[in-house]
A and B are shown apart, each in its own frame.
Chain A
Amino acid sequence: MESATIPAPAPRRPRAHRWLRPLAFLGTPTALLLVLFLGPMLVMLGVAFDRGLLDGGQGAFNLTLTNFSDVITDPLYREVAVTTFEIATAAMLAQLLVAVPLAYVIAFKAGRWQLPILLFLVLADELNPMVRIYAWRMLLGREGLINEGLMRIGITDQPIDALLFSQFAVTLVLATSYITYTVIPIYGAMKAIDANVFEAARDLGAGWWTTTRRVLLPLIAPGIFVSLLLVYIPLFTDFASPALVGGTSGYMLGNVVNDLVLESGDLNRGAAMSIIMLVLSALFALVAYRLARINRLES
């Protein structure tokens, strides 16, 4: 192909022109990210280290660590952090417990139903989260359908108050909010498995539990870590679900940020709390990412 006519090498472009094409394609998007993503993050970092007007700051920047120390040492916030950890972890475990078998069914058993089931999972995610939270609130309330139903069948003669405005309610709503992102990475990992390995395991005398534990789980571990990465961080920073179905016992760190920033107008401590949550997210992401990578190398 090149033997016929080899075009003369184009003259080297002047230095300035080499930047023109990247600038044309990436100039506006990058400027937007710098001004409206990195900019706000840096401003928030500054505000988190600034003595606020509420604490006698003079308007100019006064470096202080009190915002962080106040937020970290507050016993109430520590309690909320524990609640947040419990709720997020319970919701994550519940989702994994459903997601692993569900992904298995979709990947290996569903046949022609595979695509429709995936489509419904995508639909579940596309539904407006506020509509979903509202729907649960309607079902779980004191006069809600679930309590009405239970009383009619005669399982209880008094409405169960703990259904709504409780940790249980938040866990349930969160678990149903992110299930799509838990299932799909695990499904992806399962699609990559050669189904013959299950037959080989069976031929070698492994029961279903041994096969699951020794063959399936190691192979889908990277997918599980991706799910953790995608889901656990939004779970522990969520604030709409606890605000609407959590009551006082389901109060989470996201609500603390909301109350600091919007209720008490304390931007400085709100910023400090946000930075702490950001650091926790980053640490978690790092660990999950490492684990996902290590596992991929082994398998």
Chain B
Amino acid sequence: MRPLAHRLRRRLPGLAGGILVAFVMVVLFGPVLMLALFSFNDSSIISLPWEGFTTKWYEEAWSNGQARDAVVNSLIVATIVMVLSVVLGTLAAWGLTRLRFRGRGFIAGLNGAVLVVPWLIIGVAGLIFFSEIGVSLSLETITLMHLVVTFPLVVAIVSAGLVRFQRSLEEAAIDLGATQRQMLRYVVLPQVGPSIAAASIFAFAWSFNNFEISFFNGGFEQTFPVWVFSILRQSENLPVVNAVSTVIAAAQILAVFGAWALMKRLTRSEGEGSETLTGLLTGGAR
């Protein structure tokens, strides 16, 4: 009796921890799994009973012009935003961490402010701004506003990477005869490469997932989140939305795990690989 109680007491914390983790995972991913499951149900009502397996909702989604346009629009906008954010954000991060000049504090503060102000308010401000200056809303205005809220995130992630790594290495490279360009290529890039990779993934996801800003700053052309929102405002749940959502969720899962595998390879050379990786994964916390 005694050993059993003892063993139980020793195992209990681990068991409780396991149950907690399992509970959180079920709550976070269970609904999305159900959504995916019901995209294969042969019934226009999303509920039990199970009527049989079908892929017709996927065919319907594929031939649904609005859905396809929305996804394509989101992909185009997110790609442009990602590329420009990484370029502008890396430039700004380098300027803010490596150059001394007057007004540096103001610019750093402005970058930080963008990350704290809620997207709803930036979205409304953008709408009012564009209407006051007489610019009509379109995918271009969405892209511009996404860029403005996204590149400061890249600045934050890449700056953190640049601060972590020692400047004396740059000076050593220059002392040993490297040119400015060689120093950047062979000393700085390998060090901040993982940060830039992480930043680009987050930048793409921020733009692709952004609803508030796209909603207030978009015209007739919808992005994917705006399309889902407008469908759900108008009607009951639709299996076609299940199908499109499943494809998107699957792609996002693949992207996150792919990025993880890639970063694992990039950071393997360093000793503190997993620490760095955790830092990068969590660095995008808004």
A binding-site residues for B, Cβ under 8 Å: 1, 18-19, 21-22, 24-26, 28-30, 32-34, 36-41, 43-44, 47, 98, 101-102, 105-106, 109-110, 113-115, 117-120, 122-124, 126-139, 141, 143-145, 148, 152, 176, 179-181, 184-185, 187-188, 230, 233-234, 237-240, 243-244, 254, 257, 261-262, 267, 270-271, 274, 277-278, 281, 285
The CA of A102 and the CA of B22, in the complex, are separated in Å by 10
Measured CB to CB, the nearest residue on chain B to A273 is B124
Q: Which residues of A contact B212 (CB under 8 A)?
A: 239-240
Measured CB to CB, the nearest residue on chain B to A116 is B260
Q: Is B225 among interface residues, defined by CB-CB distance under 8 A?
A: yes
Residue contact A28 to B47, C-beta cutoff 8 Å: no
Q: Is B1 among interface residues, defined by CB-CB distance under 8 A?
A: no
Q: How many residues of B contact A (CB 8 A)?
A: 90
A44-B129, A115-B274, A128-B245 given; A138·B29 CB < 8 A:
no
A39-B129, A105-B17, A128-B225 given; A32·B278 CB < 8 A:
no
Q: Is B128 among interface residues, defined by CB-CB distance under 8 A?
A: yes
A136-B31, A145-B48 given; A131·B256 CB < 8 A:
no
The CA of A24 and the CA of B111, in the complex, are separated in Å by 17
- Distance from B133 Cβ to chain A, minimum over Cβ atoms (Å): 8
Q: Which residues of A contact B241 (CB under 8 A)?
A: 134
Q: Which residues of B contact A118 (CB under 8 A)?
A: 278, 281-282
Residue contact B126 to A36, C-beta cutoff 8 Å: yes
Q: Which residues of A contact B257 (CB under 8 A)?
A: 119, 123
Residue contact A130 to B211, C-beta cutoff 8 Å: yes
Residue contact B286 to A143, C-beta cutoff 8 Å: no
The CA of A261 and the CA of B145, in the complex, are separated in Å by 18
Binds A, one of B52-60, B84-92, B159-167, B188-196: B84-92
Q: Which residues of B contact A123 (CB under 8 A)?
A: 252-253, 256-257
Q: Is B5 among interface residues, defined by CB-CB distance under 8 A?
A: no
Residue contact A267 to B131, C-beta cutoff 8 Å: yes
Partner of A135, one of B35, B131, B274: B35
Given A40-B129, A127-B32, 4 further pairs, Cβ under 8 A:
A123-B252, A131-B35, A138-B237, A243-B233
The CA of A14 and the CA of B120, in the complex, are separated in Å by 46
Residue contact B101 to A19, C-beta cutoff 8 Å: yes
Measured CB to CB, the nearest residue on chain A to B88 is A29
Please encode chain B, from 142 to 166, with 1 for each CB lying within 8 Å of some chain A CB and 0 for all others: 0011011101100100000000000
The CA of A188 and the CA of B279, in the complex, are separated in Å by 9
Residue contact B245 to A271, C-beta cutoff 8 Å: no
- Distance from B200 Cβ to chain A, minimum over Cβ atoms (Å): 13
Q: Is B40 among interface residues, defined by CB-CB distance under 8 A?
A: no
Residue contact A47 to B128, C-beta cutoff 8 Å: yes
The CA of A130 and the CA of B226, in the complex, are separated in Å by 8
Residue contact A244 to B233, C-beta cutoff 8 Å: yes
- Distance from B108 Cβ to chain A, minimum over Cβ atoms (Å): 10
A39-B129, A101-B20, A131-B35 given; A180·B88 CB < 8 A:
no
Partner of A36, one of B31, B34, B145, B277: B145
The CA of A34 and the CA of B245, in the complex, are separated in Å by 36
Measured CB to CB, the nearest residue on chain B to A144 is B47
